Amino acid sequence: MSKVGIIANPASGKDIRRLVSYATVISNTEKTDIVKRVILGLDSTGVDEIVIMPDYYGLGMRALEALNHHHLSSKIAILDLEIQGNQEDSIRAAQMMKENQVDCIITLGGDGTNRVVSKTCGWVPLIPISTGTNNVFPVMTEGTAAGMAAGILARKVVDERKVTMTMKKLKLLGEGKEKDLALIDAVVVTESFIGARALWDLQRVKQVFLTRAEPGSIGLSSIGAVLRPLSVKDPFGLLIELGPGGEKVQAPIAPGLITAVEVKSYRVLEPGEKVLIALSPSIIALDGEREVEVNAPNYFELSLGMDGPRVGNIQKILREAIKKGLFGVDRKWSKRGSHGVKS
């Protein structure tokens, strides 16, 4: 039986960065519409079951109500989960979906949403749709295509090894045990309390740990992109020390906010290497949100892991499905097949 989970975060894309930059707000009405298109995409592939995380706005329920005139073949249910209205909802929903043996989870959110889902989803592959702010991990894609890709993956129509990839992650360690994680960046900030969770004041940033630093990205990873581009496939990370004494670079640290940054030093971060957080008091921000208070030096460490969540590549999934004739077209593509040339 094929089963897909949907975790849609109604709070993504609504933090303080909309006040200090020019980030777009994706309304919950639009998120509901995306969920509708995801469901229709999933149903078109013949997925047996769809389970949806409940939330305080009711994204899943509203989507189902709007689709009640469609004759959907998939069994669809809202998870029996008590809503807290915070990130714990996504964490517990991912845990329940893994326990219910879903084959794939579609997320609607930003880097932060996918970070918390990754805490408990295990090896269940993700199809992440971007609806947040400085998104690097999720992709901007049409919900219909994402739903179709997730359905194909769930039905085991394609070879999962060919169309998914295990991502890197930054492990936050305390006394040698993993306490938390980041998928894109972990940032050490000179503050003594968490306050507003979103990170936006660059003057307080001292260290930036990165798994990715790709040209064209927005956020603190863009600083790394102009220093030493780092792709999702590179088997290492990057550690940047900010402050006077080095070079100045210009980077888009938020939508529409391009600023000069003083970089004291930077270097490659090797897998498994542990870096002590010496600055105290300080705050560690994970994927753009202040999460951890550091009240004693050298207690926390950050380490690059190569065992992050698995992510499905939508285009690869659809392309493999086309090769197998899932859409009624039985073609074998030549190596030059990007133009539809048959072998």
∠ CA 135-140-142, rounded to 5°:
150
Per-residue pLDDT band at 336 (split at 50, 70, 90): very low
pLDDT tens, position by position, 153-166? 999 999 999 999 99
169/211 Cα distance (integer angstroms)? 6
Chain segment 224-258, per-residue pLDDT in tens: 999 999 999 999 999 999 999 889 999 998 888 89
Residue 19 and residue 250 in contact, taking contact as beta carbons nearer than 8 Å: no
User: 3-166+313-339 adopts what CATH topology?
Assistant: Rossmann fold (3.40.50)
Record the tokens describing residue 109, joined without a space. Answer: 């959110």
Q: By C-alpha distance, which of 67, 286, 299, 100 is closest to 194? A: 286
Question: 169-305: same fold as 3-166+313-339?
Answer: no
pLDDT tens readout for residues 205-225: 999 999 999 999 988 999 999
Q: Using CA atoms, how far apart are residues 222 and 225, in angstroms rounded to an integer?
A: 5
Cα–Cα distance measured from residue 236 to residue 253, given in angstroms and rounded to the nearest whole number = 22
Domain extents in the chain: 3-166+313-339, 169-305
pTM: 0.90
- pLDDT, mean over the chain: 90
Q: What is the pLDDT of residues 271-326, one digit of tens each?
A: 999 999 999 999 999 998 889 999 999 999 999 999 999 999 999 999 999 998 88
CATH number of 169-305: 2.60.200.30
